[in-house]
Amino acid sequence: MLSRLWRLMIGKPLRTEHAMHERLPIVLALPIFASDALSSVAYATETILRQFESMHIRATDWAIALPISIGIVTLIIMVVVSYWQVIFAYEKGGGSYMVARENLGLFMGLVAASALLVDYVLTVAVSIADCVAQSDSALNQVGGPWDALFDNKPLSACMLVLVILLANLRGVRESGTLFAGPSYGFITVLAIMILAGTFRVLSGTPLAEDVTMPPDTGGDTPINGLLLLRAFASGCAALTGIEAVSNGVQAFRKPEARNAATTLAILGGILAFLFIGITYLAVQYRIAPSEQETVVSQIARATFGKTGPGAVLYYAVQFFTALILFLAANTAFSGFPRLGAILAEDGFLPRQLTSLGERLAYNNGIWTLGILAILFLLVFHGEAHALLPLYTVGVFIAFSTAQLGMVRRSLRQRPIPYPGLTINLIGGVVTTIVLFVIAASKFIARDQPPLFGIPWLYEGAWMALLLMGLVVAMFYAIHRHYELTDRQLAHIPPDYDRPVHHTVIVLVPSRVHRGVLEALKYARSLSPDALAVHISYEQEKEQRLREAWNRYGGDTPLLVLNSPYRSLIEPLMRYIEEAEKLRDDDVVTIVLPEFVPAKWWHTFLHNASGLIIRWHLARRRGIVLVNVRYYLDE
């Protein structure tokens, strides 16, 4: 029954040769690889405004958010052009990791890879957390019993992670088909909202509902260059997700590079339009961030109203915004397993990550990402704003290493491609500056409640940097292990084919039964000199066992080891050690008889001595452990 339920959820297995048919056309690739970047417009403008609020900037200066957004859009164009070049230069995928490793060295490549992996985990956590926040904003406006649906944010977020995890286990193409409608719906309703809101502003039409901030909102701090730079760095959250296309080039239909580059260009254009439009309306409406309602919700409410004919569009904006934030996690579920497979092929992650599942998806990578994202959501109580500083640090490390790596690559080419070199150099310098600003301004949180009783253990970017450092250390440790393993396995001694002496020991329980006799028959097939060993606790049971052995044991001797302290393992281990000392070339095989009950729950009605013995013998050298199972009928 469980197998049928699982098959219903993830679908029938796909043949290996069907992999080419699972490649994505542009129309399906956009919702899979671009949903993360598109979703960032739901919180990027709000991040700028929250930065203004935390720095107590005068309300009259909040209009500077629009020029800041124009600067961010310029940076978006630079990053898009840079990754356009990356796609054609590294058609096998890998993005920032491959660029940095080839042009800046192995260490920088692993730094970029760690930043990308952490970024993917935080993509899921941030997107799902903000999805819950957007949904909660809409339901708060509805009121009634729906108001409490998302009150438990961590639990709601974890459930959504599991939903999208199962959707991705069905395969990349099927998840793209499933999520295409919500992605294009989000683009459509936000475009309608921006155009309708711009018409209201330019025509002087009153707002459908008043969302203007109170006169005393803000503070008395005048804007200056440093504050401007910090606000710019906060708004650069709009760039998150752009790199995903370059990491998954091999997921596209042929020609892979051209289709991936086209998708990236479409993404850049849509992202720039939506981000500028939302910021423009937020400035014109004079909106302040609120804990009860997101900025996008306030813009939609002011543009359409939540009652009357426009209410349909208001709730459509909320619905599709929540969906796109949900789908943003899908970008990570596509990118993380592919990058993990590339790193595993290079020996820096467990090789299990290279395995394709039944639906031609990297199942082990998908499960790993889902579990890590759930851990982050639980630790940070499902709060998106607490996770964003960790998120943006990793993004800009990947941006900087990719663009500076492309600069190094351009300098090696002849003739030098100066247009591309210039764009990559400017983009690399700007993203590096933004990286340092984010790391410095958000290194330690100053305006958040304490976590675990420690005031600064919350929201600090130091956590992302520490986590990336630990991931890089893990890369090197795994790589060293694989190198050592390969060296030892590759070494074949000259006397590898010498004959060895074989000692076979059958462990006998307190009575002779069908399972014991099956194990004894198997042991005799290995060696005619097999020996039976029993650990005795009571003399009465020992005597009954000897009588049964004389009847059924044949010519195989039975050795009884007394255990006055009722220990099973200690006398057995002493005997095995003595047996190993008899000959240097001896291989000791322990045959362990076990019967398997017909029902799984019957297992709890029997002792677990076999499991205990296996656990103690598993790591002993020179020991071969064989389980001979006898299966009981119902």
Segment 302-326 mean pLDDT: 86
Q: Is it the case that residue 81 has pLDDT exceeding 80? A: yes
> What pTM did the predictor assign?
0.77
Least confident interval from 174-188, 345-359, 522-536, 587-601: 174-188
Say how far apart CA 78 and CA 427 lie, in whole Å: 6
Classify burial at 244, counting beta carbons within 10 Å of its beta carbon; exposed 0-12, middle 13-18, buried 19 or more. Answer: buried
CATH 1.20.1740.10 corresponds to the domain 2-482:
yes
**Second-level CATH architecture of 501-631:** 3-Layer(aba) Sandwich (3.40)
Res 199 pLDDT > 80:
yes
**Mean pLDDT within 132-157:** 67
Query: In the chain, where are the structural domains located?
Result: 2-482, 501-631
pLDDT value at 440 more than 50: yes
Is residue 456 scored above 50 in pLDDT? no
Tokens of 357: 């599942």
> What is the model's pLDDT at position 451?
47
| Most distant CA atoms of the chain, gap in Å | 105
pLDDT at 384 over 90: no
- The residue with tokens 């997107």 is 127
Q: What average pLDDT does range 410-436 have in this prediction?
A: 85
| Mean pLDDT of all residues in 413-434 | 85
Instruction: Decide if 340 contacts 351 (C-beta within 8 A).
Output: no
346: pLDDT confidence band, cut at 50, 70 and 90? very high
CA distance 336 to 317: 29
- Closest CA relative to residue 116, chosen from 335, 325, 301, 313: 335
pLDDT at 480 > cutoff 90: yes
DSSP letter string over 316-376?
HHHHHHHHHHHHHHHHHHHHHHHHHHHHHHTTSS-GGGG---TTSS-HHHHHHHHHHHHHH
Question: Residue 191: its pLDDT value, please?
Answer: 95
For residue 457, pLDDT over 50 is answered with no
- The continuous run of DSSP H or E covering 25 comes out as none
- State residue 141's pLDDT score: 61
Which one is predicted more confidently, 580 or 557?
Answer: 557
DSSP element (H, E) containing 591? strand 586-596
Concatenating the DSSP letter of every residue in 496-537 gives TT---EEEEEEE--SS--HHHHHHHHHHHHH-TT-EEEEEES
